[in-house]
Amino acid sequence: MSGESRKTVSIREVGPRDGLQNEDPVSTDAKVELLDALSRTGVQRIEAVSFVHPKAIPQMADADQVWSRAAKVDGVRYSALVPNTRGAQRALAAGFREIEVVVSASDTHNRHNVNRSTAESLDDIAELISLLHDAGATAEVIVATSFGCPYEGDVDPARVASIVDRVTADGADRVALGDTTGMATPRRVRDVVSVVREAHPDVPLLLHFHNTRGTALANVLTAVELGVTQYDASVGGLGGCPYAPGASGNVATEEVVHMLHDMGIDTGIDLDALLDAAGLAQRIVDRELPSGVLRAGPRSRTVPA
């Protein structure tokens, strides 16, 4: 990857949704405060809430209230995650026009996640995409367990590519590949991205990495070198997956921004403002978050000799 194409990377902040859904429930006030702080960092995309049944994910039970109270900052694109048609209808009614839905490459994980097979979910998603398009919204399909499954182990890249084949044929506007439990390594990133890119060079592709086994930044770097320019990240390294044993936090947004900026790659994000938001996230969940940049500060920060 060279030249103009590697100078800019777009990060979608997922802390308010993916980050907080795996924590003990926090107050609506705290969620709004965090969402608003992130909106002021210069990040261009934020996954704000998910519209799921409160019995499934009680941490997201107040999604409507959070969204109605949040400051909507000009220039920031806000999205919502939905599990099904009912969730999509709620998201549309709330005013969202960028909506995400998840299907797992692993059939076992998909059954744990939404209690149906991958094939059944793909049929549902085809109908959901039509619903969203009819309402003037875009549909992003996130393929979870793209780099490995905690129940089944390795996932064949061809399996991932076949799911991308299906959802793009059904009209998906964007595709994201999720490393649900941090099983990706640079080799696996190359294998999966290469197969998907070869079949669908023009489909917007986003990658979602967890740092469960310490490889998230290496995976981002590998994908940047492959030409991928869109990534999910979570402030402070918040996050996980309620239906995936051992799925610790997402890659920390400030760690990704810190690395990319030092490489001369722009994200549009103010690192100091982002670190303030990460400190807020840490206070909200009342525990030390795993972000090394939050603990140590940026490399430009020095101490008196």
State residue 2's pLDDT score. 43
Q: Residue type for 5, please?
A: S
What is the spatial distance between Cα 291 and Cα 252, in angstroms, rounded to a whole number?
6
Predicted pLDDT of residue 206: 98
- Does 55 map to a domain? yes
Would you state the pLDDT for residue 294? 96
What would you report as the CA-atom Rg of the chain, rounded to the nearest whole angstrom?
18
Pairwise CA distance, residues 229 & 12, whole Å:
11
Query: Catalytic one among 38, 48, 241, 252?
Result: 241
Task: Output the pLDDT for position 245.
Answer: 57
The answer to whether position 89 is within a domain reads: yes
Pairing assessment for the beta strands 45-50 and 10-13 based on DSSP bridges? parallel
Determine the pLDDT at residue 4: 41
pLDDT given at position 242: 55
We report the CATH number of the domain holding residue 51 as 3.20.20.70
Low-confidence ranges of the chain (pLDDT < 70): 1-6, 240-248
State the pLDDT at residue 107: 96
In the annotation, is 149 catalytic?
Answer: no
The answer as to whether 90 is a domain residue is yes
Query: Considering the domain boundaries, does residue 301 fall inside one?
Result: no
Residue 160 lies in a domain: yes
- Give the model's pLDDT for residue 22: 86
Range of the domain at 108: 3-296
Domain count across the chain: 1
> Is position 104 within any domain?
yes
303 in a domain, yes or no? Answer: no
Name the one residue in this structure whose structure tokens are 């919204």.
137
The first and second tokens of residue 243, run together, are 């239906």
Residue 305 lies in a domain: no
Using CA atoms, how far apart are residues 199 and 294, in angstroms rounded to an integer? 39
